[in-house]
Amino acid sequence: MHNLLILGGTTEATAFANAAAAAGLRGTVSFAGRVERPKRQPLPQRIGGFGGVRGLADYLVTHNITHVVDATHPFAAQMSGNAVAACAQAGVPLAALTRAAWTAQAGDRWTHVPDIAGAVATLDQPARRVMLAVGRMHLADFAPNPQHFYLLRLVDAPKALPPLPDHHVLVSRGPFTAEDDRALMQVHDIDLVVSKNAGGTGAYAKIAAARDLGLPVLMIDRPAIAARTEVTTVAEVMAWLDHAGADRGV
């Protein structure tokens, strides 16, 4: 009998939770609690951290979790690293449902930077009009470059004024389209886009829009994550579930 822990917060996590519920599997979808209204799930959900590796390992044992599916965002490196360590400690099979990184197409004007700090360093230049769609959590990192205008797209309205003197906040959680993002960039006269290499489709609209408009993109490469079983489709996770638990006799 399966009892899954799905580390969620992405389109792919919701898709897998739907497939698991449809297959009659038991499980819980877990969110960090980053946004006010996480998307409704077809399975029970929990919100909030586990308390590091120790807390997650305890959770796995006390809740008799048989499998962990890490469907978090590719930049959730802390969560994913904790899952690798905790599953090893608790002897629970782990698979990551992740998405391939985007690769530049003809017409893309990408500059790769290794992380947020790399993006901030590259912005040490004369004033630009920047679309910054990296979420609320990282806005303070960009404070060293107040000379730019920033178009900030956030899931929830910021509780405090962002530490960027010249900005416009757009509260929107998507889904986004290249057409809408093109119009948005033109209305705000954007000349540079900053993006995480999220992969998948949910965050791609601004990348396609930038290409259409011939705009440069600062592409933040994803962090390295400890080795684990990785798949990119819901079907592969379902197949993994049929085989992964066998060695635990569950």
Answer yes or no whether residue 83 interacts with ligand 3Y8 by CB under 6 A. Answer: no
Token readout for 94 is 């782990």
> Pick from 174, 216, 223, 245: which binds ligand 3Y8 (CB under 6 A)?
174
DSSP state for residue 6 in the 8-state scheme: E
**Residue numbers of the site for ligand NAP (CB under 6 A)?**
7-10, 30-32, 34, 49-52, 55-56, 72-73, 75-79, 82, 198, 203
CA separation for the pair 185, 198 (Å, rounded):
20
User: By CB under 6 A, what part of segment 184-213 binds ligand 3Y8?
Assistant: 196, 198, 200, 202-203, 206
Out of ligand 3Y8, ligand NAP, none, what residue 82 binds, judged by CB under 5 to 8 A for its kind, is: ligand NAP
Give yes or no for residue 34 binding ligand 3Y8 (CB under 6 A): yes
134 binds ligand 3Y8 (CB under 6 A): yes
How many CB atoms are located within 10 Å of the residue 6 CB?
A: 26
- 99 φ, ψ (degrees, to nearest 5): -130, 140
Phi, psi (rounded to 5 degrees) for 4: -90, 150
CA distance 71 to 173: 18
Q: Which of 4, 5, 6, 9 binds ligand 3Y8 (CB under 6 A)?
A: 9
Q: What share of the chain is helix, strand, coil (3-state, %, to 5)?
A: 35, 20, 45
Q: Identify what 77 binds: ligand NAP, ligand 3Y8, none; CB under 5 to 8 Å per kind.
A: ligand NAP
Count of residues in contact with ligand 3Y8, rule CB under 6 A:
31
154 contact, one of ligand NAP, ligand 3Y8, none, CB 5-8 Å limit per kind:
ligand 3Y8
User: CA 179 to CA 245: how far, in whole Å?
Assistant: 45
Q: Does 163 bind ligand 3Y8 (CB under 6 A)?
A: no
Count of alpha carbons within 13 angstroms of residue 28, beta-carbon side: 14
Distance CA 117, CA 95 (A): 29
Is residue 10 a contact residue for ligand 3Y8 (CB under 6 A)?
Answer: yes
- Using CB under 6 A as the binding rule, whether residue 216 contacts ligand 3Y8 is answered as no
Q: Is 98 in the site for ligand 3Y8 (CB under 6 A)?
A: no
Q: Dihedral sign, CA of 36, 67, 84, 196?
A: negative
Site residues (vs ligand 3Y8, CB under 6 A): 9-11, 14, 31-35, 38-39, 73, 75, 133-137, 153-156, 173-174, 176, 196, 198, 200, 202-203, 206
